[in-house]
Structure 1
Amino acid sequence: MDEPGSDEQRGRGRAGPIRAHPGPGGWRSPWAQPAPDRLPWRSTLALTVVVLVGSYVAERGQLDHRVPLDAAGLCLLLLGQALLLLRLRHPVLVAFATSATALVYLGAGYPYGPVFLTVAAGCFAAVVAGHRRAAWGAVGIVWAGHLLIAHWLYRFLPPGGDHAVPWGQELAITAWVIAILAASEFARLRREQWARERAERAAAEKRRTDAERLRIARELHDVLAHSISVINVQAGVGLALLDSDPEQARTALTTIRAASKEALGEVRQVLGTLRAPGEAPRTPAPGLERLPELVGQAASAGLTVDTVTVGAPARLGPGAGLAAFRIIQEALTNVVRHSGSRTARVTLTWARGRLALRIDDEGPATRADAGGGGNGLVGMRERAAALGGTVDAGPRPGGGYRVEAVIPLSGAPGTGRGAAPDTTPKESP
């Protein structure tokens, strides 16, 4: 049968509002219910047929001690079914009304039978809608009323000459009441479980969406901030030397073209993941194998970078190479944009289980601003934190600025994909 309870009537209990939605894979939960603005006429019609046919069948075996079904009895049965049409909008009213209708039916001496299914459907609707006490009260009224009718009021009610109902039959009625309440509670708990699962899936999807949005924002920031900083510096050089040194201006323009081309390629790669979600990137993500290229770009912006490797390079875990590359890239970009120093030093220290990065410049800081939004340091910390690492940045002793990062590694020692090329002099640890 259709599950009862409207959005307004549900959600008064501890579990909060429960709305009907398909389950995993698009499958609709058996505990889901139709919208409260629609009447559950199909399930009610099916139940009406069962109650009417079952009551006439039950009448044949009770003609000797119960009143035969007549027009009044038929009207009571149909009234109970008509009330069930409102069980989604008014579950409490329907629970008590169907219980009262059943008591009048039994008090009139009509045969026992499927009339109890009407009470079960009404109380089931109330429990599932969150009105447990009302449903229990309605079932309790039926049970207590039946006790009074069957063991005391039967003397004053039809049929004449009736006798008390055996107590064994009362045990059956009690078991029926318990079964109704148990089934209703099970349905309610199942609906609450579905509601919690839907909420958890929605929260997890939101977290995935936020994480992907943050990842794309970091990638675009790192790519564009570095490339535009190089372009900005070279454009200034080109403008300054356009008349006095055309050849040097030509070199600056060539650098601008190369930097813009690379930036466009990386932006296309990032945006490509948006157009084709789940598709593998066509070009590999940058890693420390591109550190010489990064140093060359910094040199084209007028920054001399010394790189020093300490220890034996190790194989980086997934994402670690990209994080290390982007942290160095962002640190060098900040030197170009915010430092008066034209030299920087990048130190990579390979230790057991981790890679330590240190980027130093001698300063002093300038007030130049190439349009950055102040998100570079935040992005570096987020990249490191996603891998279980850390980033610290601040003024260094003796002047200048220092960025230090620690990135956990995985895999056995040895030069692997993403490891820094061993082309620089080694220092003792």
Structure 2
Amino acid sequence: MGMSAASAPRQWRLLAVAGPLALAIFQIVGTFGAAAREVDRHPIDALTIVLVLTGALSLLALPRRPVAVLWFVIAVTLTYLLRGYAYGPVVVSAVIAVFACVVLGHRAAAWWGVGTLFAAHFSLRGSFRDEPWSWGQLLAVAAWALLVLILAEFARVRRERSIAARAAESEARKRQANEERLRIARELHDTVAHHMSLINMQAGVALHLLDRHPEQAQTALTAIRDASKEGLAELRSLVDVLRDEEQGAPRSPTAMLGTLDDLIERSNAAGLVVTKRVKGDQRSLPTAVELAAFRIVQEAITNVVRHADATTAEIVLGYGETELEVRVDDDGRGDGVEADPSGSGIRGMRERASALHGSLAVGPSPLGGLQVRARLPLAGDR
């Protein structure tokens, strides 16, 4: 079982404290053991204990000041070696400091530190002790130092790749969350804006007719009731779909081309005469395509109701072999796009088309108003 995100930092902090303490004990014991075997070396004294302990315990500051700790440990280790003490595990502190510096990205300091320790040890040992060295010793120490550096470089590359992978994963999650928020915002906008536009228009009609023609006002109020009821039903359906998606059981959306006649009926009841024309072989399409087509038509009709001062609108669905063409024309003012200060409706339609690798264009209509025309590839959701 892997570590949780919360427990991992605590375990690393515990290791950063317990590790140097355990290393100090290990180096003290190992140094006494080495001195017992190498009786011809300088005997253990108080300075030996100080050097061994300070070298190990300085690693407590390694996560915060890796370069400073590295050079301190190099100095301690070099002093120990030049004093002629037994060759014990004192170099382990230096190895850990070098390894950590490379992994943490301080490569130059690590390589310079190893080079300094290596060169100073073999060049100065004769000045402190009459102890000649051989080329075999020189090459063996150089090989071990190079091995430590190479292993550290491999660990550094692996760490950097892991950090990059986590960053990419985090960015992907953020991008996915943003896309989900945009999708929900589009669904809410398309659902609410259409019904609220119809309610707003019918409320204005009802207020205008309430005193002089109450029977006609009643028709408008009935349309308001129906539009609000259907809007609430769509909102509940949207919430249910989102809830099921969170629980891992996504459901198909209810707003599909099969419900287009209901939208037309609501628009007709609001006073806008809407007709539908189908070209090509009408058939079932991928869910994403049908949902996008319905929402584009719905938003286009909403814009007509809100901004165009139109009396009629025509919906044309063109079923091709590889794409669905959706066209909405009206006979209004022809400036519906500019009339919407937020522009969220047009932007939302374009986003829906782009999500399926399709396109959307807005321009003048042959009917005298505005035309919204979308091309949706049938394989765009795959």
User: Aligned-pair RMSD on alpha carbons?
Assistant: 2.8
Which residue of 289, 311, 318 corresponds with 1:320?
A: 289
Kindly indicate whether residue 222 of structure 2 is the aligned counterpart of residue 249 of structure 1: no
Which residue of 111, 115, 118 corresponds with 2:90?
A: 115
In 2: Cα distance, 1:369 partner to 1:122 partner: 66
In 1: Cα distance, 2:149 partner to 2:337 partner: 74
Check conservation: 2:238, 2:253, Cα contact below 8 A: no
Check conservation: 1:304, 1:342, Cα contact below 8 A: yes
Check conservation: 2:241, 2:253, Cα contact below 8 A: no
Q: How much has 1:410 moved relative to structure 2?
A: 4.2
Matches within 5 A, 1:333-348: 333-348=302-317
Q: Secondary structure at the match of 2:287?
A: coil
Identify the structure with the greater helix proportion: 2
In 2: Cα distance, 1:243 partner to 1:307 partner: 35
Task: Rate the CA distance shift 1:309–1:24 in 2: closer, same or farther, 3 A.
Answer: farther
Check conservation: 1:269, 1:281, Cα contact below 8 A: no
Q: How much has 1:40 moved relative to structure 2?
A: 3.2
Per-residue Cα deviation, 1:94-150 (whole angstroms, up to 9, x for no partner): 111111111111111111121110111222232233221111111111111222245
Check conservation: 2:303, 2:336, Cα contact below 8 A: no
Which residue of 47, 57, 71 corresponds with 2:23?
A: 47
In 2: Cα distance, 1:54 partner to 1:263 partner: 79
Task: Rate the CA distance shift 1:237–1:372 in 2: closer, same or farther, 3 A.
Answer: farther
Code of the residue aligned with 2:30 in structure 1: it is G
Aligned-pair identity (%): 45
Check conservation: 2:256, 2:290, Cα contact below 8 A: yes
Kindly indicate whether residue 328 of structure 2 is the aligned counterpart of residue 353 of structure 1: no
Which residue of 109, 114, 117 corresponds with 1:139?
A: 114
Matches within 5 A, 1:5-404: 26=5, 34=13, 40-63=16-39, 65-149=40-124, 153=126, 156-158=127-129, 162-272=130-240, 278-279=246-247, 280=249, 284-365=253-334, 373-397=342-366, 399-404=368-373
In 2: Cα distance, 1:369 partner to 1:266 partner: 28
In 2: Cα distance, 1:256 partner to 1:398 partner: 28
In 2: Cα distance, 1:218 partner to 1:248 partner: 34
Q: How much has 1:239 moved relative to structure 2?
A: 2.1
Code of the residue aligned with 1:364 in structure 2: it is R
Q: Secondary structure at the match of 2:342?
A: coil
Q: Secondary structure at the match of 1:109?
A: coil
Q: Which has the higher contact order (CA 8 A, sep 6+)?
A: 1
Check conservation: 1:315, 1:410, Cα contact below 8 A: no
TM-score (norm 2): 0.89
Gap runs ≥5 in structure 1: 1-22, 412-429
Per-residue Cα deviation, 1:352-394 (whole angstroms, up to 9, x for no partner): 1111011111223589999873211111110011011111111
In 2: Cα distance, 1:322 partner to 1:113 partner: 74
Check conservation: 2:51, 2:76, Cα contact below 8 A: yes
Q: Secondary structure at the match of 1:179?
A: helix
TM-score (norm 1): 0.80
- Aligned residue pairs, count: 377
Q: Secondary structure at the match of 2:324?
A: strand
